[in-house]
Structure 1
Protein backbone atom coordinates (compact mmCIF):
# COMPACT_ATOMS: atom_id res chain seq x y z
CA UNK A 1 0.00 0.00 0.00
CA UNK A 2 1.16 3.57 -0.65
CA UNK A 3 0.33 6.89 0.99
CA UNK A 4 -1.51 9.67 -0.85
CA UNK A 5 -0.09 13.17 -1.37
CA UNK A 6 -1.74 14.64 1.73
CA UNK A 7 -0.34 11.96 4.02
CA UNK A 8 3.12 12.35 2.51
CA UNK A 9 2.97 16.14 2.96
CA UNK A 10 2.13 15.85 6.68
CA UNK A 11 4.70 13.10 7.25
CA UNK A 12 7.33 15.29 5.60
CA UNK A 13 6.42 18.38 7.63
CA UNK A 14 6.48 16.30 10.83
CA UNK A 15 9.91 14.93 9.90
CA UNK A 16 8.83 11.27 9.96
CA UNK A 17 8.62 10.47 6.25
CA UNK A 18 11.12 7.59 6.30
CA UNK A 19 9.62 6.06 9.44
CA UNK A 20 6.12 6.25 7.96
CA UNK A 21 7.25 4.57 4.77
CA UNK A 22 8.63 1.66 6.80
CA UNK A 23 5.21 1.30 8.44
CA UNK A 24 3.47 1.07 5.10
CA UNK A 25 3.64 -2.72 5.13
CA UNK A 26 1.31 -2.95 8.17
CA UNK A 27 -1.57 -1.85 5.92
CA UNK A 28 -3.18 -4.86 4.27
CA UNK A 29 -5.80 -5.24 1.56
CA UNK A 30 -7.10 -8.46 3.14
CA UNK A 31 -8.46 -9.39 6.56
CA UNK A 32 -5.76 -11.56 8.09
CA UNK A 33 -6.42 -14.19 10.75
CA UNK A 34 -5.46 -11.88 13.65
CA UNK A 35 -7.99 -9.28 12.46
CA UNK A 36 -10.66 -11.96 11.97
CA UNK A 37 -10.15 -13.21 15.52
CA UNK A 38 -10.36 -9.66 16.86
CA UNK A 39 -13.58 -8.84 14.97
CA UNK A 40 -15.24 -12.04 16.19
CA UNK A 41 -15.55 -10.66 19.74
CA UNK A 42 -16.15 -6.95 19.20
CA UNK A 43 -19.28 -4.91 20.01
CA UNK A 44 -18.36 -1.31 19.12
CA UNK A 45 -17.52 0.38 15.81
CA UNK A 46 -17.36 3.91 14.47
CA UNK A 47 -18.26 4.57 10.83
CA UNK A 48 -17.11 7.47 8.65
CA UNK A 49 -19.38 8.49 5.76
CA UNK A 50 -20.02 11.48 3.49
CA UNK A 51 -23.40 13.12 2.85
CA UNK A 52 -24.78 14.61 -0.36
CA UNK A 53 -23.42 18.05 0.62
CA UNK A 54 -19.88 16.61 0.98
CA UNK A 55 -20.05 16.88 4.77
CA UNK A 56 -18.35 14.10 6.74
CA UNK A 57 -20.04 12.29 9.64
CA UNK A 58 -18.89 9.89 12.35
CA UNK A 59 -21.57 7.39 13.46
CA UNK A 60 -21.84 4.88 16.30
CA UNK A 61 -22.57 1.20 15.56
CA UNK A 62 -22.97 -1.42 18.28
CA UNK A 63 -24.17 -5.01 18.52
CA UNK A 64 -23.62 -8.42 20.04
CA UNK A 65 -20.12 -9.90 19.96
CA UNK A 66 -19.14 -10.45 16.33
CA UNK A 67 -21.74 -8.08 14.88
CA UNK A 68 -18.98 -7.11 12.44
CA UNK A 69 -18.97 -10.46 10.64
CA UNK A 70 -16.13 -11.61 8.39
CA UNK A 71 -17.61 -13.20 5.26
CA UNK A 72 -14.25 -13.76 3.59
CA UNK A 73 -10.78 -12.20 3.58
CA UNK A 74 -12.02 -9.13 1.68
CA UNK A 75 -15.63 -8.76 2.84
CA UNK A 76 -17.30 -7.94 6.13
CA UNK A 77 -20.95 -7.56 7.04
CA UNK A 78 -22.05 -5.17 9.78
CA UNK A 79 -25.17 -6.60 11.38
CA UNK A 80 -26.41 -3.40 12.99
CA UNK A 81 -28.94 -0.73 12.11
CA UNK A 82 -28.22 2.86 13.14
CA UNK A 83 -30.99 5.05 14.53
CA UNK A 84 -33.19 6.44 11.76
CA UNK A 85 -32.09 10.03 12.33
CA UNK A 86 -28.40 9.11 12.03
CA UNK A 87 -27.21 10.06 8.50
CA UNK A 88 -25.16 6.89 7.92
CA UNK A 89 -27.60 4.89 5.76
CA UNK A 90 -28.68 7.91 3.74
CA UNK A 91 -25.07 8.92 3.16
CA UNK A 92 -24.18 5.49 1.78
CA UNK A 93 -26.97 5.77 -0.78
CA UNK A 94 -25.11 8.63 -2.51
CA UNK A 95 -21.48 7.83 -1.64
CA UNK A 96 -20.56 4.22 -0.82
CA UNK A 97 -17.14 5.02 0.68
CA UNK A 98 -16.96 3.96 4.34
CA UNK A 99 -14.26 4.05 6.99
CA UNK A 100 -14.52 1.91 10.11
CA UNK A 101 -12.82 1.86 13.46
CA UNK A 102 -13.59 -1.27 15.49
CA UNK A 103 -12.39 -0.64 19.03
CA UNK A 104 -12.05 -2.74 22.19
CA UNK A 105 -11.95 -0.20 25.02
CA UNK A 106 -11.42 -2.81 27.73
CA UNK A 107 -8.24 -4.16 26.13
CA UNK A 108 -7.09 -0.99 24.35
CA UNK A 109 -7.10 -2.55 20.89
CA UNK A 110 -8.36 -0.99 17.67
CA UNK A 111 -8.62 -2.03 14.05
CA UNK A 112 -9.12 0.39 11.17
CA UNK A 113 -10.74 -0.64 7.91
CA UNK A 114 -12.08 1.12 4.87
CA UNK A 115 -13.73 0.18 1.62
CA UNK A 116 -16.92 0.29 -0.42
CA UNK A 117 -20.29 -0.34 1.21
CA UNK A 118 -23.50 -1.96 0.02
CA UNK A 119 -26.35 -1.09 2.36
CA UNK A 120 -29.81 -2.52 3.03
CA UNK A 121 -32.29 -2.26 5.90
CA UNK A 122 -30.71 -5.05 7.97
CA UNK A 123 -26.97 -4.80 7.42
CA UNK A 124 -24.05 -3.14 5.65
CA UNK A 125 -21.71 -5.21 3.51
CA UNK A 126 -18.23 -3.77 2.95
CA UNK A 127 -15.65 -4.76 0.34
CA UNK A 128 -12.38 -4.04 2.11
CA UNK A 129 -9.58 -1.92 0.62
CA UNK A 130 -7.41 -1.32 3.70
CA UNK A 131 -7.07 -3.04 7.10
CA UNK A 132 -4.57 -2.40 9.90
CA UNK A 133 -4.25 -2.39 13.69
CA UNK A 134 -3.41 0.83 15.54
CA UNK A 135 -1.36 1.27 18.70
CA UNK A 136 -3.14 1.48 22.11
CA UNK A 137 -2.03 5.05 22.87
CA UNK A 138 -4.50 7.41 24.57
CA UNK A 139 -7.31 4.82 24.90
CA UNK A 140 -8.99 5.07 28.31
CA UNK A 141 -10.17 1.66 29.47
CA UNK A 142 -13.91 1.12 29.74
CA UNK A 143 -15.85 -2.05 30.38
CA UNK A 144 -19.23 -2.98 28.97
CA UNK A 145 -21.75 -3.33 31.76
CA UNK A 146 -23.16 -6.84 31.80
CA UNK A 147 -26.60 -5.84 33.03
CA UNK A 148 -28.92 -5.17 30.10
CA UNK A 149 -30.90 -1.97 29.73
CA UNK A 150 -34.42 -3.42 29.65
CA UNK A 151 -36.37 -0.18 29.84
CA UNK A 152 -34.54 1.74 27.13
CA UNK A 153 -36.22 5.05 26.44
CA UNK A 154 -37.07 6.02 22.89
CA UNK A 155 -34.30 7.97 21.14
CA UNK A 156 -34.70 11.74 21.00
CA UNK A 157 -32.96 13.68 18.23
CA UNK A 158 -31.97 17.34 18.32
CA UNK A 159 -30.52 19.08 15.24
CA UNK A 160 -28.86 22.44 15.76
CA UNK A 161 -26.51 24.84 14.00
CA UNK A 162 -24.45 25.38 17.16
CA UNK A 163 -23.60 23.71 20.45
CA UNK A 164 -25.99 24.14 23.36
CA UNK A 165 -24.57 24.91 26.81
CA UNK A 166 -25.15 21.26 27.75
CA UNK A 167 -23.23 20.13 24.65
CA UNK A 168 -20.34 22.42 25.55
CA UNK A 169 -20.13 21.04 29.09
CA UNK A 170 -20.23 17.48 27.70
CA UNK A 171 -17.29 18.20 25.39
CA UNK A 172 -15.13 19.90 28.03
CA UNK A 173 -15.55 16.88 30.31
CA UNK A 174 -14.83 14.30 27.57
CA UNK A 175 -11.70 12.13 27.60
CA UNK A 176 -12.46 10.42 24.27
CA UNK A 177 -13.89 11.28 20.87
CA UNK A 178 -13.78 9.90 17.35
CA UNK A 179 -12.93 11.73 14.15
CA UNK A 180 -14.05 10.92 10.60
CA UNK A 181 -12.23 12.24 7.52
CA UNK A 182 -12.39 11.70 3.78
CA UNK A 183 -10.07 11.71 0.77
CA UNK A 184 -11.84 11.81 -2.62
CA UNK A 185 -9.64 9.04 -4.05
CA UNK A 186 -8.41 7.04 -1.03
CA UNK A 187 -11.78 6.95 0.74
CA UNK A 188 -13.15 7.45 4.25
CA UNK A 189 -11.34 7.01 7.55
CA UNK A 190 -12.45 6.80 11.20
CA UNK A 191 -10.02 7.31 14.04
CA UNK A 192 -9.85 7.62 17.84
CA UNK A 193 -8.63 10.56 19.92
CA UNK A 194 -8.11 10.49 23.67
CA UNK A 195 -6.66 12.58 26.49
CA UNK A 196 -7.43 13.79 29.98
CA UNK A 197 -10.74 15.64 30.47
CA UNK A 198 -10.40 19.17 29.13
CA UNK A 199 -8.12 18.21 26.24
CA UNK A 200 -10.86 19.41 23.88
CA UNK A 201 -11.46 23.13 24.37
CA UNK A 202 -14.69 24.90 23.45
CA UNK A 203 -13.82 28.30 21.95
CA UNK A 204 -17.47 29.20 21.33
CA UNK A 205 -20.69 27.46 20.28
CA UNK A 206 -19.32 26.90 16.76
CA UNK A 207 -15.60 26.25 17.33
CA UNK A 208 -13.49 23.64 19.11
CA UNK A 209 -9.72 23.31 19.49
CA UNK A 210 -7.96 20.07 20.35
CA UNK A 211 -4.35 18.77 20.39
CA UNK A 212 -2.75 16.04 18.32
CA UNK A 213 -0.27 13.96 20.29
CA UNK A 214 2.55 11.74 19.09
CA UNK A 215 1.03 8.74 17.27
CA UNK A 216 1.87 6.13 14.66
CA UNK A 217 3.31 8.72 12.22
CA UNK A 218 1.21 7.53 9.27
CA UNK A 219 -1.17 10.52 9.51
CA UNK A 220 -4.18 9.12 7.67
CA UNK A 221 -6.51 11.59 9.38
CA UNK A 222 -4.32 14.66 8.97
CA UNK A 223 -3.35 13.71 5.44
CA UNK A 224 -7.03 13.65 4.56
CA UNK A 225 -7.70 16.95 6.33
CA UNK A 226 -5.12 18.99 4.42
CA UNK A 227 -6.62 17.74 1.14
CA UNK A 228 -10.25 17.90 2.27
CA UNK A 229 -11.01 19.88 5.48
CA UNK A 230 -14.49 18.37 5.91
CA UNK A 231 -14.60 16.21 9.02
CA UNK A 232 -16.99 14.70 11.55
CA UNK A 233 -16.60 14.28 15.30
CA UNK A 234 -18.45 11.87 17.58
CA UNK A 235 -18.67 12.14 21.35
CA UNK A 236 -20.29 9.27 23.27
CA UNK A 237 -21.83 9.51 26.72
CA UNK A 238 -20.67 6.03 27.72
CA UNK A 239 -22.67 5.99 30.96
CA UNK A 240 -26.00 7.17 29.50
CA UNK A 241 -25.92 5.96 25.88
CA UNK A 242 -26.25 9.42 24.30
CA UNK A 243 -24.30 10.56 21.22
CA UNK A 244 -23.19 13.96 19.95
CA UNK A 245 -22.23 14.16 16.27
CA UNK A 246 -20.63 17.28 14.81
CA UNK A 247 -19.86 17.97 11.18
CA UNK A 248 -17.73 20.85 9.99
CA UNK A 249 -14.28 21.81 8.77
CA UNK A 250 -10.92 21.20 10.39
CA UNK A 251 -7.73 23.26 10.12
CA UNK A 252 -4.35 21.84 11.18
CA UNK A 253 -2.18 24.35 13.09
CA UNK A 254 1.60 23.89 13.36
CA UNK A 255 2.44 27.24 15.01
CA UNK A 256 4.81 26.64 17.94
CA UNK A 257 3.31 29.36 20.12
CA UNK A 258 -0.17 27.90 19.70
CA UNK A 259 1.13 24.43 20.60
CA UNK A 260 2.07 25.72 24.05
CA UNK A 261 -1.66 25.91 24.84
CA UNK A 262 -1.67 22.11 25.19
CA UNK A 263 0.82 19.93 27.07
CA UNK A 264 2.38 17.37 24.75
CA UNK A 265 0.79 18.72 21.56
CA UNK A 266 2.62 18.09 18.29
CA UNK A 267 -0.05 19.95 16.32
CA UNK A 268 -3.48 21.37 17.12
CA UNK A 269 -6.74 21.34 15.21
CA UNK A 270 -9.31 24.10 14.96
CA UNK A 271 -12.73 22.65 14.18
CA UNK A 272 -15.52 24.92 12.88
CA UNK A 273 -18.95 23.37 13.47
CA UNK A 274 -21.56 23.49 10.73
CA UNK A 275 -24.20 21.20 12.21
CA UNK A 276 -24.85 19.42 15.52
CA UNK A 277 -26.79 16.16 15.82
CA UNK A 278 -27.52 15.10 19.38
CA UNK A 279 -29.28 11.77 19.92
CA UNK A 280 -30.31 10.95 23.46
CA UNK A 281 -30.81 7.26 24.26
CA UNK A 282 -29.00 6.42 21.02
CA UNK A 283 -27.51 3.19 22.31
CA UNK A 284 -28.66 0.39 24.62
CA UNK A 285 -25.11 -0.43 25.71
CA UNK A 286 -23.41 1.18 28.71
CA UNK A 287 -19.75 1.32 29.68
CA UNK A 288 -18.18 1.88 33.10
CA UNK A 289 -14.90 3.75 33.38
CA UNK A 290 -11.74 1.80 34.15
CA UNK A 291 -8.64 4.02 34.05
CA UNK A 292 -6.94 6.68 32.00
CA UNK A 293 -4.19 5.81 29.53
CA UNK A 294 -0.78 6.07 31.18
CA UNK A 295 0.58 8.00 28.17
CA UNK A 296 -1.92 10.86 28.31
CA UNK A 297 0.06 14.13 28.56
Structure 2
Protein backbone atom coordinates (compact mmCIF):
# COMPACT_ATOMS: atom_id res chain seq x y z
CA UNK A 1 0.00 0.00 0.00
CA UNK A 2 1.28 3.46 -0.89
CA UNK A 3 2.15 5.62 2.10
CA UNK A 4 2.08 8.88 0.09
CA UNK A 5 4.78 10.42 2.29
CA UNK A 6 6.39 13.49 0.73
CA UNK A 7 10.16 12.74 0.52
CA UNK A 8 11.30 16.32 1.24
CA UNK A 9 8.30 18.09 2.77
CA UNK A 10 9.97 21.20 4.19
CA UNK A 11 10.58 24.44 2.31
CA UNK A 12 13.61 26.70 2.77
CA UNK A 13 12.05 28.73 5.58
CA UNK A 14 11.17 25.65 7.62
CA UNK A 15 14.64 24.18 7.13
CA UNK A 16 16.20 27.45 8.26
CA UNK A 17 13.94 27.59 11.32
CA UNK A 18 14.89 24.02 12.24
CA UNK A 19 18.56 24.96 11.95
CA UNK A 20 18.16 28.06 14.12
CA UNK A 21 16.25 26.04 16.72
CA UNK A 22 18.98 23.40 16.95
CA UNK A 23 17.50 20.67 14.78
CA UNK A 24 14.44 19.36 13.04
CA UNK A 25 12.31 16.27 13.61
CA UNK A 26 13.69 12.71 13.41
CA UNK A 27 10.95 11.95 10.86
CA UNK A 28 8.14 13.81 9.17
CA UNK A 29 5.06 11.80 8.10
CA UNK A 30 3.68 14.60 5.91
CA UNK A 31 1.65 13.07 3.10
CA UNK A 32 0.25 14.16 -0.22
CA UNK A 33 -2.95 12.25 0.56
CA UNK A 34 -4.97 11.85 3.73
CA UNK A 35 -4.70 8.54 5.58
CA UNK A 36 -7.98 6.84 6.41
CA UNK A 37 -7.92 7.90 10.07
CA UNK A 38 -7.76 11.57 9.03
CA UNK A 39 -10.59 11.13 6.54
CA UNK A 40 -12.72 9.63 9.33
CA UNK A 41 -11.75 12.39 11.78
CA UNK A 42 -12.82 15.52 9.88
CA UNK A 43 -16.54 14.55 9.65
CA UNK A 44 -16.68 14.42 13.48
CA UNK A 45 -15.98 18.13 13.83
CA UNK A 46 -18.44 21.00 14.42
CA UNK A 47 -15.94 23.64 13.26
CA UNK A 48 -12.85 23.93 11.08
CA UNK A 49 -9.97 26.43 11.24
CA UNK A 50 -9.00 27.95 7.90
CA UNK A 51 -6.29 30.27 6.63
CA UNK A 52 -6.59 32.03 3.28
CA UNK A 53 -4.87 35.03 1.69
CA UNK A 54 -6.48 38.40 1.01
CA UNK A 55 -6.08 40.38 -2.20
CA UNK A 56 -2.56 41.48 -1.25
CA UNK A 57 -1.44 37.99 -0.22
CA UNK A 58 -1.75 38.76 3.51
CA UNK A 59 -2.98 35.69 5.45
CA UNK A 60 -6.40 35.79 7.09
CA UNK A 61 -7.46 33.29 9.75
CA UNK A 62 -11.05 32.24 10.36
CA UNK A 63 -13.33 29.50 11.66
CA UNK A 64 -16.16 27.87 9.70
CA UNK A 65 -18.79 25.69 11.33
CA UNK A 66 -21.67 23.33 10.77
CA UNK A 67 -23.32 20.18 12.02
CA UNK A 68 -20.80 17.31 12.38
CA UNK A 69 -20.41 15.87 8.91
CA UNK A 70 -20.23 19.29 7.24
CA UNK A 71 -16.60 18.39 6.46
CA UNK A 72 -16.19 15.14 4.53
CA UNK A 73 -13.62 13.41 2.38
CA UNK A 74 -14.93 12.01 -0.93
CA UNK A 75 -11.48 10.54 -1.63
CA UNK A 76 -8.00 10.63 0.00
CA UNK A 77 -7.00 13.72 -1.96
CA UNK A 78 -10.00 15.93 -1.24
CA UNK A 79 -12.01 17.57 1.51
CA UNK A 80 -15.54 18.84 0.96
CA UNK A 81 -16.62 21.67 3.28
CA UNK A 82 -20.37 22.31 3.28
CA UNK A 83 -20.00 25.79 4.77
CA UNK A 84 -18.57 29.20 4.01
CA UNK A 85 -17.22 31.99 6.20
CA UNK A 86 -19.99 34.27 7.47
CA UNK A 87 -21.09 37.20 5.34
CA UNK A 88 -19.46 39.58 7.86
CA UNK A 89 -16.20 37.59 7.88
CA UNK A 90 -13.27 39.42 6.20
CA UNK A 91 -12.15 36.13 4.62
CA UNK A 92 -15.41 35.62 2.71
CA UNK A 93 -14.42 37.47 -0.53
CA UNK A 94 -11.17 35.51 -0.81
CA UNK A 95 -12.48 31.94 -0.58
CA UNK A 96 -12.72 31.10 -4.26
CA UNK A 97 -11.59 28.50 -6.79
CA UNK A 98 -7.82 28.50 -7.18
CA UNK A 99 -7.14 30.00 -3.76
CA UNK A 100 -4.63 28.37 -1.45
CA UNK A 101 -6.01 27.28 1.90
CA UNK A 102 -4.59 25.95 5.15
CA UNK A 103 -6.92 23.87 7.30
CA UNK A 104 -6.78 22.55 10.84
CA UNK A 105 -9.28 20.12 12.26
CA UNK A 106 -9.19 20.13 16.06
CA UNK A 107 -11.38 18.34 18.60
CA UNK A 108 -11.02 20.29 21.83
CA UNK A 109 -12.70 17.53 23.85
CA UNK A 110 -10.14 14.85 22.88
CA UNK A 111 -7.19 17.16 22.03
CA UNK A 112 -6.83 15.49 18.65
CA UNK A 113 -5.83 17.61 15.65
CA UNK A 114 -4.95 17.07 12.01
CA UNK A 115 -3.78 19.53 9.37
CA UNK A 116 -4.57 19.59 5.65
CA UNK A 117 -3.26 22.23 3.25
CA UNK A 118 -4.22 22.60 -0.40
CA UNK A 119 -6.05 24.54 -3.08
CA UNK A 120 -9.75 25.29 -3.50
CA UNK A 121 -10.89 23.27 -6.52
CA UNK A 122 -14.51 24.45 -6.45
CA UNK A 123 -16.41 27.12 -4.54
CA UNK A 124 -20.12 27.92 -4.67
CA UNK A 125 -22.94 28.98 -2.39
CA UNK A 126 -22.97 25.52 -0.78
CA UNK A 127 -19.31 25.47 0.23
CA UNK A 128 -15.90 24.33 -0.98
CA UNK A 129 -14.09 21.37 -2.48
CA UNK A 130 -10.38 21.40 -1.63
CA UNK A 131 -7.58 19.46 -3.32
CA UNK A 132 -5.25 18.42 -0.49
CA UNK A 133 -1.49 18.76 -1.05
CA UNK A 134 -0.30 18.12 2.50
CA UNK A 135 -1.81 16.05 5.30
CA UNK A 136 -0.31 15.48 8.72
CA UNK A 137 -1.16 15.13 12.38
CA UNK A 138 -0.02 17.10 15.42
CA UNK A 139 0.48 16.12 19.03
CA UNK A 140 -2.14 17.11 21.65
CA UNK A 141 0.15 19.34 23.72
CA UNK A 142 -1.08 22.68 25.07
CA UNK A 143 -4.71 22.17 24.01
CA UNK A 144 -7.18 23.33 26.65
CA UNK A 145 -9.87 20.67 26.91
CA UNK A 146 -13.40 21.94 26.21
CA UNK A 147 -16.76 20.29 25.67
CA UNK A 148 -18.60 22.34 23.06
CA UNK A 149 -22.30 22.26 22.24
CA UNK A 150 -24.47 24.35 19.88
CA UNK A 151 -25.67 27.62 21.41
CA UNK A 152 -28.34 29.92 20.03
CA UNK A 153 -26.69 33.29 19.61
CA UNK A 154 -27.74 36.63 18.19
CA UNK A 155 -24.94 37.95 16.01
CA UNK A 156 -24.09 41.50 16.96
CA UNK A 157 -22.24 44.41 15.44
CA UNK A 158 -18.85 43.99 13.82
CA UNK A 159 -16.13 46.41 14.88
CA UNK A 160 -13.30 47.01 12.43
CA UNK A 161 -10.20 48.74 13.76
CA UNK A 162 -6.60 49.56 12.97
CA UNK A 163 -3.45 49.08 15.01
CA UNK A 164 -5.06 50.25 18.26
CA UNK A 165 -7.12 47.45 19.77
CA UNK A 166 -10.49 48.22 21.38
CA UNK A 167 -10.77 47.42 25.08
CA UNK A 168 -13.07 44.46 24.28
CA UNK A 169 -10.43 42.95 22.00
CA UNK A 170 -7.66 43.41 24.56
CA UNK A 171 -9.83 41.77 27.25
CA UNK A 172 -10.56 38.80 24.97
CA UNK A 173 -6.82 38.32 24.40
CA UNK A 174 -6.17 38.43 28.16
CA UNK A 175 -8.70 35.60 28.69
CA UNK A 176 -7.57 33.56 25.69
CA UNK A 177 -6.42 29.96 26.17
CA UNK A 178 -6.87 28.81 22.55
CA UNK A 179 -5.55 30.75 19.56
CA UNK A 180 -4.99 29.93 15.89
CA UNK A 181 -2.39 31.52 13.61
CA UNK A 182 -2.42 31.58 9.81
CA UNK A 183 0.85 32.09 7.94
CA UNK A 184 2.15 31.86 4.40
CA UNK A 185 5.46 31.07 2.77
CA UNK A 186 4.63 33.52 -0.02
CA UNK A 187 4.81 33.05 -3.76
CA UNK A 188 7.93 30.86 -3.56
CA UNK A 189 5.87 27.80 -2.57
CA UNK A 190 2.84 26.27 -4.32
CA UNK A 191 -0.41 28.03 -3.39
CA UNK A 192 1.48 30.37 -1.11
CA UNK A 193 2.25 27.64 1.42
CA UNK A 194 -0.75 28.65 3.53
CA UNK A 195 -0.97 27.03 6.93
CA UNK A 196 -2.98 27.44 10.12
CA UNK A 197 -1.91 26.07 13.47
CA UNK A 198 -2.89 26.08 17.14
CA UNK A 199 -1.27 27.90 20.04
CA UNK A 200 -2.51 27.32 23.56
CA UNK A 201 -1.79 27.88 27.22
CA UNK A 202 -3.28 29.20 30.42
CA UNK A 203 -5.06 32.56 30.29
CA UNK A 204 -2.33 35.19 30.07
CA UNK A 205 0.06 33.11 27.94
CA UNK A 206 -0.47 35.76 25.24
CA UNK A 207 1.13 38.98 26.51
CA UNK A 208 -0.24 42.19 25.06
CA UNK A 209 1.58 45.50 25.38
CA UNK A 210 -0.09 48.25 23.37
CA UNK A 211 -0.53 46.86 19.87
CA UNK A 212 2.22 44.25 20.23
CA UNK A 213 1.38 40.67 21.20
CA UNK A 214 4.12 38.31 22.41
CA UNK A 215 3.48 34.62 21.72
CA UNK A 216 5.60 31.95 23.48
CA UNK A 217 6.84 29.01 21.44
CA UNK A 218 6.86 25.76 23.41
CA UNK A 219 8.41 22.38 22.71
CA UNK A 220 6.61 20.68 19.81
CA UNK A 221 7.09 18.46 16.77
CA UNK A 222 10.00 20.58 15.50
CA UNK A 223 8.48 20.95 12.04
CA UNK A 224 8.41 24.74 12.56
CA UNK A 225 5.73 25.26 9.90
CA UNK A 226 4.61 28.54 11.44
CA UNK A 227 8.04 29.96 12.27
CA UNK A 228 9.45 28.74 8.95
CA UNK A 229 6.71 30.57 7.10
CA UNK A 230 7.36 33.72 9.14
CA UNK A 231 11.01 33.72 8.12
CA UNK A 232 9.89 34.01 4.49
CA UNK A 233 6.72 36.09 4.94
CA UNK A 234 6.27 38.10 8.18
CA UNK A 235 2.62 38.94 7.49
CA UNK A 236 0.34 36.76 9.60
CA UNK A 237 -3.18 36.52 11.01
CA UNK A 238 -4.64 35.39 14.33
CA UNK A 239 -8.12 34.23 15.28
CA UNK A 240 -9.45 33.56 18.77
CA UNK A 241 -12.86 32.98 20.33
CA UNK A 242 -14.58 33.93 23.55
CA UNK A 243 -16.44 30.67 24.13
CA UNK A 244 -18.81 32.33 26.63
CA UNK A 245 -20.05 35.13 24.37
CA UNK A 246 -19.28 33.65 20.95
CA UNK A 247 -17.25 36.72 20.00
CA UNK A 248 -14.57 36.10 17.35
CA UNK A 249 -11.47 38.26 17.16
CA UNK A 250 -9.48 38.27 13.89
CA UNK A 251 -6.21 40.17 13.54
CA UNK A 252 -3.70 40.85 10.78
CA UNK A 253 -0.20 41.93 11.70
CA UNK A 254 3.53 41.65 11.19
CA UNK A 255 5.41 38.96 13.09
CA UNK A 256 9.05 38.71 14.14
CA UNK A 257 10.66 35.55 15.53
CA UNK A 258 12.98 35.86 18.53
CA UNK A 259 15.16 32.78 18.88
CA UNK A 260 16.15 33.79 22.40
CA UNK A 261 13.42 34.47 24.97
CA UNK A 262 13.68 38.12 25.99
CA UNK A 263 12.50 37.58 29.58
CA UNK A 264 12.40 33.89 30.58
CA UNK A 265 10.79 34.72 33.93
CA UNK A 266 7.51 35.56 32.18
CA UNK A 267 7.06 32.03 30.80
CA UNK A 268 9.46 29.32 31.94
CA UNK A 269 8.23 26.82 29.32
CA UNK A 270 8.99 29.06 26.34
CA UNK A 271 11.96 27.97 24.21
CA UNK A 272 11.65 31.00 21.97
CA UNK A 273 8.93 33.55 21.17
CA UNK A 274 7.53 35.73 18.44
CA UNK A 275 5.98 39.15 18.48
CA UNK A 276 2.92 40.17 16.49
CA UNK A 277 2.48 43.86 15.67
CA UNK A 278 -1.21 44.43 15.00
CA UNK A 279 -2.04 46.30 11.80
CA UNK A 280 -5.81 45.79 11.61
CA UNK A 281 -8.55 43.65 13.07
CA UNK A 282 -12.21 42.73 13.35
CA UNK A 283 -14.31 41.88 16.41
CA UNK A 284 -17.39 39.90 15.34
CA UNK A 285 -19.78 39.67 18.26
CA UNK A 286 -21.78 36.48 18.80
CA UNK A 287 -20.44 34.96 15.58
CA UNK A 288 -19.40 31.55 16.96
CA UNK A 289 -22.39 29.21 17.50
CA UNK A 290 -20.72 26.83 19.95
CA UNK A 291 -20.41 27.24 23.70
CA UNK A 292 -18.64 25.43 26.48
CA UNK A 293 -20.45 23.10 28.86
CA UNK A 294 -17.52 21.71 30.82
CA UNK A 295 -14.03 23.06 31.35
CA UNK A 296 -11.00 20.94 32.17
CA UNK A 297 -7.43 22.02 33.01
CA UNK A 298 -4.70 22.29 30.40
CA UNK A 299 -2.80 19.03 29.99
**Runs of 5+ consecutive residues of structure 2 not aligned to the other structure:** 1-5
Is it true that 1:120 corresponds to 2:124 in the alignment?
yes
**Runs of 5+ consecutive residues of structure 1 not aligned to the other structure:** none
Q: Does the 8 Å CA contact 1:182/1:188 hold for their aligned counterparts?
A: yes
Q: Secondary structure at the match of 1:40?
A: helix
Return the alpha-carbon distance in structure 1 between the equivalents of residues 98 and 203 of structure 2.
35
Return the alpha-carbon distance in structure 2 between the equivalents of residues 14 and 149 of structure 1.
42
Is it true that 1:279 corresponds to 2:284 in the alignment?
yes
Deviation of 1:165 after TM superposition, in Å, equals 1.3
Q: Report what 1:16 is aligned to.
A: 23
Q: Once structures 1 and 2 are overlaid, which stretch shifts more, 258-267 or 209-218?
A: 258-267
User: 1:80-139 CA distances to partner (integer Å, 9 max, x unpaired)?
Assistant: 122112122312349600000010000000010100013222101100000111000000
Return the alpha-carbon distance in structure 2 between the equivalents of residues 84 and 125 of structure 1.
19
Alignment of 1:64-143 (within 5 A): 64-93=67-96, 96-117=99-120, 118-143=122-147
Q: Does the 8 Å CA contact 1:181/1:190 hold for their aligned counterparts?
A: yes
TM-score by length of 2: 0.91
Deviation of 1:289 after TM superposition, in Å, equals 4.3
User: 1:3-29 CA distances to partner (integer Å, 9 max, x unpaired)?
Assistant: 101100111111123xx2x322x1111
Question: Which of 50, 54, 59 is the matching residue for 1:56?
Answer: 59
Q: Secondary structure at the match of 1:223?
A: helix
Q: Report what 1:198 is aligned to.
A: 204
Runs of 4+ displaced beyond 6 Å? none
Deviation of 1:208 after TM superposition, in Å, equals 0.8
Equivalences, count: 286
Q: Once structures 1 and 2 are overlaid, which stretch shifts more, 124-133 or 92-101?
A: 92-101
Return the alpha-carbon distance in structure 2 between the equivalents of residues 251 and 95 of structure 1.
29
Q: Secondary structure at the match of 1:286?
A: strand
Alignment of 1:1-297 (within 5 A): 1=6, 2-17=9-24, 20=25, 22-24=26-28, 26-93=29-96, 96-117=99-120, 118-145=122-149, 148-150=150-152, 152-161=153-162, 162-184=164-186, 185-186=189-190, 187-204=193-210, 206-294=211-299
Q: Secondary structure at the match of 1:193?
A: strand
Alpha carbons of structure 1 residues 93 and 44: separation in structure 2 relative to 1, 3 Å: closer
Alpha carbons of structure 1 residues 82 and 198: separation in structure 2 relative to 1, 3 Å: same
